[in-house]
Amino acid sequence: MNLVIKIGTSTLTRPTTGDLHISAIAHLVEVIVELRRQGHSVVLVSSGAVGVGCTRLGITDRPKKLSTRQAVAAVGQSRLMGIYDDFFGQFQQPVAQVLLTRANLVERQHYINVSNTFQELLEMGILPIVNENDTVATEELKFGDNDTLSALVASLVQAQWLFLLTDVDRLYSADPRRFPEAEPILAVSSAELRSLVVDTNTEGKSWGTGGMVTKITAARIATSAGVRTVIMHGREPENIHKILQGEPIGTQFAPNPQCLNARKRWIAYGMIPSGELVLDDGAVTAVTTKGRSLLAAGIVAVRGEFNQGDCVSLLNRSGVEIGRGISFYDRVEVEKFRDADRKKLAIF
């Protein structure tokens, strides 16, 4: 099976000092090596470059300036990869560094090239270690957190499982650090996940960028691609073996039985919308439940600037996104067709 494991900064580093938690890394490496020996292909998505770089440079707070974060990440990433290479090298497990930005997934050919690279690495028995390329990523083209990145990678490599290793053992009905009476949630169906609401105050630790909200977003992306997703404690990676054997550990999100195909996954999660189309109720129904093309007559409003071939977000009258698509026309043409009420003209 193809497995993607995402390890967060809160697990990789000590919270009081920001220093690398060497024993935790060693433990994770041993688990991954054993998974590889059992015949699984593994991709590791690792956070921590900024935090490690700050510690290396004696910086006590996460930098707010983008260029400073990029410089610090460059220092931290080399340190992090050096440690991974040393640890995996003890078991003769070759590793490869894969640094991605959102731009690598926006262009279709780039998306395919990245997919082919992962496939080749896994077929060669190499362990890809993935991180966002913070050194060159712009704010507009950042994934924002490695939870989202790990879900997109899981989709790319057609993984069966995505494990999100974090500083809590599972999802709860409320933040257990603030509400001791919070109830654990062991399993979430695809229908439940669509309506699941998470407290936005459950941010991650100071050195990380992810919280529980980003993990739910990652679960939605991964499960839509047919990837079973697990939130579990990062200090107990050996539980991955038990989960694969059927034990109900952590919070497990069931894969969507109606998975999006590769092209639709690229449109939905790889591309960044350049504009928005607000649809009437009939168009919403036609697009979401009947699988039909969007006609110009169903567009209520056009927002943003976009060109032919750009991704656009589809909203209902309440402003809720109900889908995405690639426009056949630019904004000016779409508005012209809408105003002319050419009902048979398909926008995409």
Q: How many CB atoms lie within 10 A of CB 294?
A: 24
Q: What is the pLDDT of residue 346?
A: 63
| Residue 191, domain member (yes or no) | yes
Position 19: which residue type? D
| Residue 83, domain member (yes or no) | yes
Tell me the longest C-alpha to C-alpha distance in the chain.
68
DSSP string, 69-92: HHHHHHHHHHHHHHHHHHHHHTTT
Residues 169, 251, single domain; the answer is yes
List the CATH number of the domain containing 288.
2.30.130.10
Instruction: Please say which residue of 263, 293, 321 terminates a domain.
Output: 263
* CA–CA dist 249, 293 (Å, integer): 42
| Residue 21, domain member (yes or no) | yes
Residues 335, 285, single domain; the answer is yes
Residues 188, 47, single domain; the answer is yes
Residues 211, 300, single domain; the answer is no
Instruction: Please say which residue of 199, 228, 263 terminates a domain.
Output: 263
List the CATH number of the domain containing 89.
3.40.1160.10
Residues 155, 294, single domain; the answer is no
* CA–CA dist 219, 228 (Å, integer): 8
| Residue 39, domain member (yes or no) | yes
| Residue 345, domain member (yes or no) | no
Residues 104, 157, single domain; the answer is yes
| Residue 152, domain member (yes or no) | yes
Instruction: Please say which residue of 263, 282, 303 terminates a domain.
Output: 263
- 66: nearest Cα among 148, 140, 152: 140
Contact 280, 297 (CB under 8 A): no
Helix pair 108-123, 146-156: axis angle to 10 deg: 80
Instruction: Tally the domains of the chain.
Output: 2
Residues 171, 301, single domain; the answer is no
Q: What is the pLDDT of residue 44?
A: 98
Residues 166, 297, single domain; the answer is no
Helix pair 22-37, 66-89: axis angle to 10 deg: 60
216: left (phi over 0), alpha (psi -120 to 50) or beta: alpha
Q: What is the pLDDT of residue 208?
A: 40
Residues 175, 316, single domain; the answer is no
Q: What is the pLDDT of residue 97?
A: 95
Supply 301's token pair.
């409003």
Residue whose token pair is 């691609």: 225
Q: What is the domain extent for residue 188? A: 2-263
Residues 223, 280, single domain; the answer is no
Strand partners, 97: 129
For the chain (348 residues), the mean pLDDT of every run of 10, in chain order, is 92 78 93 97 92 85 83 89 95 95 81 93 97 67 76 93 92 81 88 74 45 86 92 94 95 86 78 90 86 84 91 90 89 83 57
DSSP string, 262-330: HHHHIIIIIS---EEEEE-HHHHHHHHTS-PPPBGGGEEEEEE---TT-EEEEE-TTS-EEEEEE-SS-
Residues 244, 282, single domain; the answer is no
Residues 138, 157, single domain; the answer is yes
Strand partners, 43: 4
